[in-house]
Chains A and B, each alone.
Chain A
């Protein structure tokens, strides 16, 4: 066989693929990482980093015509702008089909490092309650992994990535291995003090984020420029580019190829072992098969599932490892609703630097037991952001001349505080993806068809998040506020927390992967991106992908070294 020099192939170099590359290479395996996106040099290619408004086309006003033409899905993201457009997927290059009336926004990067460059960097551990959710209320397939199983792996990845935050000792939000927390705004201290007195059951803490507050593993602390998603030369936020890929590279065991689109996986005659990866080079069109003994799919939730479905064969007629029929199903995202308040406290206080982080209000509904007044299962947390309005929110006033000009130079006479709820989404069989029967992309890969609806549970929890937010904002001393409800939910995928479609579970008749993220019936295939998730919790998922990836690599290498994957 050709290219027998690789022990393992990792598909994708985003947050999960970077971790797989690091863990496998550090354990001595020769690893090939295949990345669909363009090459991107850490630092040198962050062309929008620290660019000023006047240096950007249209002074940074969005290029509406181009966005409509080339980035109709991607440009919906808050993180998309002219300062980082080169990181994003051109929607024309890799089309997919949204089912009419059941829209799903699929946000994708198209560079080495993937969405680890673009993520919001919020990291929260799942709790025991989260891992028990499916088995205790029956609204999902039981998790085969407990909090105790994954806890050491949370610690392991946190120590490497660097997580700033404050230990709180909450059962519903276990503490991480923390670097010092970031500072509060004066208003946030005021709000927290009032809530502690008036609503002691509502916890509030500084956001836990993978942004360094002190030097860590050779990376510099944050310099608080603000827009992390333009890329960070100092590596102050965790990304594959800043952290895991350099660590993997340092072992001498890493080969990374960009522009390699993985079309499908090949297996042996038995169908029980993967033998190779069929690729096409996005620039040259060259087709090539890469072989190895061990395979990790980390191509993103829908990306990995698309490869699994497109690898159907006589041995695996419904897609790889899909005797359960669960492949492509039980897609989830977090439902988000935002509520806003105005405060006139602390208006004589200002700030310096831009904190790339907010406050976090952990789940306080249905904690440990079902609340009497809750018509929904599970719960939600809030991410809260503080903003001092400026000329951009007040220019629409009357008048001309010096007085008008001066009024725009001043910070506004109030603060704005936004609470965005992140609602746990239940796994529904009807939400998911399938391959289109005839439509293919330019490389002949069948296009994914997405189908997604929020269920009544998400809608009721979203409504409740407005009711509770009003209580919180009143107790916090807001002079005015506005809450929202499920009518303001955006399409699935808007949270960019897509999860599921290759869920894990002990029973091969119900799940695609076992408790090691290993495909049922295909021992040398692992999937460790968001597709393995059997439920969604209400917290940001990336930390959990990283912990499961590291854990799966540890297991896979032990199997590899025991000679289980002869290839």
Chain B
């Protein structure tokens, strides 16, 4: 973990990381404002990916986070999140890099990624990840930054999928658990093994420093 990463970690801890359920003694007007605010992924039209890119990304997302006893990436609308982030949040060079990576992956999937069998999809993804296994993205502590634009395509896609899943309403409520508020208890048994959802990604506290 380098100095910058370390500082970022410290910034997080100073900030504290909060999670809350839907409403608690809030001002009525503010409460109504929040209740009327739809999920980010429902606020925007999807116009950036082609049909085949969209289905490839959705299929990859489901391979990374499949449906188990909890919902998978599709139900959490992870593909929509990835498309919006690539279209809006990425800068030009990040977008270019990502789209080139996606094109390259698609070129390795004869007949289109989403048309491959489950086993073929997984095999291709594992192969692509193998090829970049020495990337610094996999290092301990490399998560403590806002974004790693030097990471290989497959890593960037994986990161977007994970963010899009665990920060979604479905992921936060069903794969993780909402931290009940009302009191603070500092020492309770760890029974339900799921972590608490974060109402904001930790990295939002990192700043650019």
B-contacting residues of A (Cβ < 8 Å)?
43-47, 49-65, 67-68, 75-83, 120, 182-186, 188-189, 220, 222-227, 233-234, 338, 340, 346-356, 358, 383, 385-388, 390-398, 400-402, 404-406, 408-411, 416, 418, 420, 482, 484, 487-488, 490, 494
Contacts and interface: CB of A to CB of B under 8 A. Distances in A.
Given A58-B85, A405-B65, A482-B6, A351 B188 contact: yes
Contacts of B168: 53-54, 59
Nearest to A225: B20
A409 B19 CA distance: 16
Contacts of B144: 393
B30 A47 contact: yes
B10 A59 contact: no
Contacts of B46: none
Interface string B171-209: 010011001111111111111011111111111111111
B184 A61 contact: no
Given A226-B17, A408-B166, A44 B200 contact: no
B203 A392 contact: yes
A185 to B, nearest CB: 4
A68 B133 CA distance: 32
B7 A224 contact: no
B50 interface: no
B185 A83 contact: no
Given A348-B189, A488-B6, A353 B183 contact: yes
Q: Which residue among B37, B138, B201 has the maximum number of chain A CB atoms within 10 Å of its CB?
A: B201
Nearest to B209: A76
A401 B172 contact: no
B89 interface: yes
Contact of A401 (B26, B63, B183): B63
Interface residues of B, number: 99
Nearest 3 pairs between A and B by C-beta? A226-B18, A338-B10, A43-B27
Nearest to A417: B13
A50 B190 contact: no
Contact of A51 (B1, B185, B199): B199
Q: Which residue among B23, B27, B155 has the maximum number of chain A CB atoms within 10 Å of its CB?
A: B27
Given A44-B30, A46-B30, A488-B7, A57 B40 contact: yes
A348 B192 CA distance: 11
A445 B162 CA distance: 48
Interface string B56-98: 0000000111101010000000000100110011010000000
A484 B6 contact: yes
Interface of B: 1, 3, 6-7, 9-20, 22-27, 29-30, 33-34, 37-41, 63-66, 68, 70, 81, 84-85, 88-89, 91, 122, 125-126, 129, 133, 137-139, 142-144, 146-147, 155, 158-159, 162-164, 166-169, 172, 175-176, 179-191, 193-209
Given A58-B89, A220-B25, A406-B68, A420 B18 contact: no
Contacts of A418: 9-10, 13-14
Contacts of B41: 54
Given A62-B146, A338-B9, A398-B133, 13 more contacts: A43-B27, A53-B168, A55-B34, A58-B88, A76-B209, A189-B187, A225-B20, A233-B30, A349-B188, A350-B191, A356-B16, A396-B137, A420-B10
Given A65-B91, A391-B166, A50 B16 contact: no
A83 B200 contact: yes
A258 B13 CA distance: 34
Contact of B207 (A76, A185, A398, A406): A76
Contacts of A46: 27, 30
A480 to B, nearest CB: 11
Nearest to B7: A488
B194 A50 contact: no
Contacts of A397: 138
A47 B169 contact: no
8 contacts: A62-B204, A81-B205, A233-B25, A233-B27, A338-B6, A352-B185, A358-B16, A387-B12
A60 B185 contact: no
Contacts of A68: 208
